[in-house]
Amino acid sequence: MHDKTVAQLSSALASGQVSSVELTHHFLDRIRQDDSRYNSFITVTEEAALRDARTADERRQQGNATPWTGIPFAHKDLFCTNGVRTTCGSKMLENFVPPYDATVTSKLREAGAVCLGKTNMDEFAMGSSTESSFFGATTNPWGEGRVPGGSSGGSAAAVAARLVPAATASDTGGSIRQPAALCGITGLKPTYGRISRYGMIAFASSLDQAGTMTRTALDSAMMLNVLAGHDPKDSTSIDRAVPDYTAELEQPLKGLRIGLPKEYFTDQLGAAMEQTVRNAIAEYEKLGATVQDISLPHANLAIAAYYVIAPAECSANLSRFDGARYGYRCENPKDLLDMYTRTRAEGFGSEVKRRILVGTYALSAGYFDAYYLKAQKVRRLIQQDFINAFGEVDIIMSPTSPSPAFVQGEKSNDPVTMYLEDIFTISTNLAGLPAMSVPAGLIEGLPVGLQMIGDYFSEARLLNAAHQFQQVTDWHQMTPGG
């Protein structure tokens, strides 16, 4: 059953071919047997999952089921879950048990989905390799000793290894799309505000967006149907009607206008990566789409702007972790100042501390205008580039990442090189646009992702394009190890 997609499992449950309890036992057994190889989970909630599975089976017997009733899944460990440890991959929250559910959590619970546990992640979602987790690095199922990407690497690895059919994730600068690409699955980051951030532990509030990790575009559409919608608890949530994202998946792509940013296809992009991506784009031409070159003139400034804005917001958001209210507290502090300084020094890892320092510096007196304000102006220019581009094309396509999965430890001592892993994904977060990554090929046996960027609230169009691509290719069906 683990080789079936969410859509297939939903049909099997509806027909009575399998029960949710049987399905839940099956995936829990796989986690128990195989996750020691991947370390994709931080917490496994076996008892609660089996209880929820029994409830799901009762709902189906009563005729009160949704497509998700009884479907197992996993949460990235930054979505607060009532009564379940939620760590954000950090020593700071190692023993934090929230007394409430995030909106993402409650929506999936209401739909009858069965949560199997919480997946590993870079600490406070800061990283591109899931190596900064306090609970140890996650390994990519496609290659022993290779990273799964980050920060949602645990979710991506769990789906790729068929430990769960789907998982939640979050994307601040590419943290859904990049690990989806490196693990050979489908990852969707919706428009900023399309899914509520309430109860999602914040890294950078103007950039963070919840999203989905699945094997297919159809499964992503099914998941977005549950998660999307306005939430009065989140002031950044958009009050806009939610369409049925599965309704237009079968629409033909004839006339679709695809733009290729010349700034993303340069000599710095490896020949094998460029050829693999262009081969995928050629499939769209066969489906009736037209392709043209476009320009995003300020794309080269995205990394610099992001690594001023995101650390600045991180510095503000993480100031609450001081040992006074909740989370880790140092032992036997001498006084209040000692408690603050030792708690934060001991509770945060090196990457989090690095970003807090950068952000605090950028917000300090005398530097705010020179760095933070200027970065926000660049952000507006990047957004305008996309607005102009979508006057000419419907979807923008590019590589998701500059290379396939790299070896663990290869870039962990070089922060700038690690930051460049998100060079193709960061701009969409700065602009607040929807984007997704779909499997598009292999390079030396490792997955390659094709990134698709859409205009605001064009998730249905992106999902349609991804679904049609997956009808004529089989990259999304490939499993690690062949």
Give the β-pairing of 257-261 and 395-399. parallel
Sign of CA dihedral 1, 442, 294, 177: positive
Neighbouring residues of 313: CB distance < 8 A, sequence distance ≥ 6: 202, 203, 204, 205, 206, 207, 359
Neighbouring residues of 417: CB distance < 8 A, sequence distance ≥ 6: 411
- 175 carries an active-site annotation: yes
Catalytic option among 19, 76, 90, 189: 76
CA distance 71 to 7: 10
Helix 153-160 and helix 20-38: axis angle, to 10°? 120
The amino acid present at 109, given as its one-letter code, is R
Catalytic option among 40, 106, 132, 151: 151
- 377 carries an active-site annotation: no
Contact 394, 290 (CB under 8 A): no
Contact 122, 129 (CB under 8 A): yes
Residue with the two structure tokens 């993303």: 264
The amino acid present at 42, given as its one-letter code, is I
Sign of CA dihedral 5, 11, 16, 19: positive
- 151 carries an active-site annotation: yes
In Å, how far are 2, 27, 166, 288 from 480, measured between CA atoms? 13, 17, 16, 31
In Å, how far are 6, 80, 246, 248 from 164, measured between CA atoms? 10, 19, 21, 26
Catalytic option among 175, 196, 220, 458: 175
On the 0-12 / 13-18 / 19+ scale of CB atoms within 10 A, 408 is buried
Sign of CA dihedral 372, 122, 435, 241: negative
Helix (H, G, I), strand (E, B) or coil at 290: strand
CA distance 32 to 13: 23
CA distance 169 to 188: 9
CA distance 419 to 375: 17
Q: How many CB atoms lie within 10 A of CB 461?
A: 19
Residues in the chain: 482
What residues act catalytically?
76, 151, 175
